[in-house]
Amino acid sequence: MIKWYVKFGLGLLVAGVLVSLAFLLVEYPKNHPDKMLEWEEKAANYFEKFTLPIKVARLSAREPDTQVLVPVYGLPVSGITDTWEAPRGEGERVHQGQDIFAESGTPIFSGTYGYVHEIGVGKIAGNYVYVLGAGGRRYYYAHLERFANNLHVGQEVDTDTVTGFVGNTGNAINTPPHLHFEINLPDTTPINPLPFLVNR
């Protein structure tokens, strides 16, 4: 049988540890605010990565968007020339998106709610962003001059989120600045974006 004074001593030890922990939890954030912000950011990033597959699965199960806001700032639908299936590569292929022309550096917004699926740089696309939207559709933004600050894969975006800026990177280097915009079905089949576009 454990003696009463041993139990008493253990109780004091546990109480002392708890008081010290409580003091640390209260005082540490006051004395090390930058460290606490760093920990909070890491915890938030971990939570975002952990829950992202669930959020994406739910979004993919929803009905696809029937309307997509014009991604390029300040441009109405009437200002877009239909370039769907226009000949490319000396007639060897057809254009599978819409080229939306605007001044270099014009902000490009996400046309839909979704999550940033991919960010990259390609020989043809230049700087590009894929956004995954409802119904598993992927929205493709290419030839960007540059990406929006802090844009990252897994980021939740809506129609007020800037994804990048109009440019002519990739194989568009010798053309006027524009956004190459595509909508791809879950099986990667491209569909004409123009019938879905509405004014911002």
Fold classification of 68-198 is Glucose Permease (Domain IIA) (2.70.70)
Q: What is the pLDDT of residue 149?
A: 96
Q: What is the pLDDT of residue 114?
A: 98
Summarised one tens digit per residue, pLDDT across range 26-81 is 676 677 677 656 666 665 555 566 678 888 899 999 999 999 999 999 999 999 99
Q: What is the pLDDT of residue 45?
A: 59
Task: Tell me the β-bridge partners of 116.
Answer: 131
Specify the higher pLDDT residue, 61 or 86: 61
For residue 11, pLDDT beyond 70: no
* Local structure of residue 97 (DSSP, 8 states): S
For residue 199, pLDDT beyond 80: yes
CA-wise closest residue to 141 among 176, 167, 173, 103: 167
- Calpha distance 105→98 (Å, rounded): 18
Summarised one tens digit per residue, pLDDT across range 117-150 is 999 999 999 999 999 999 999 999 999 999 999 9
Helix (H, G, I), strand (E, B) or coil at 77: helix
- Calpha distance 12→20 (Å, rounded): 12
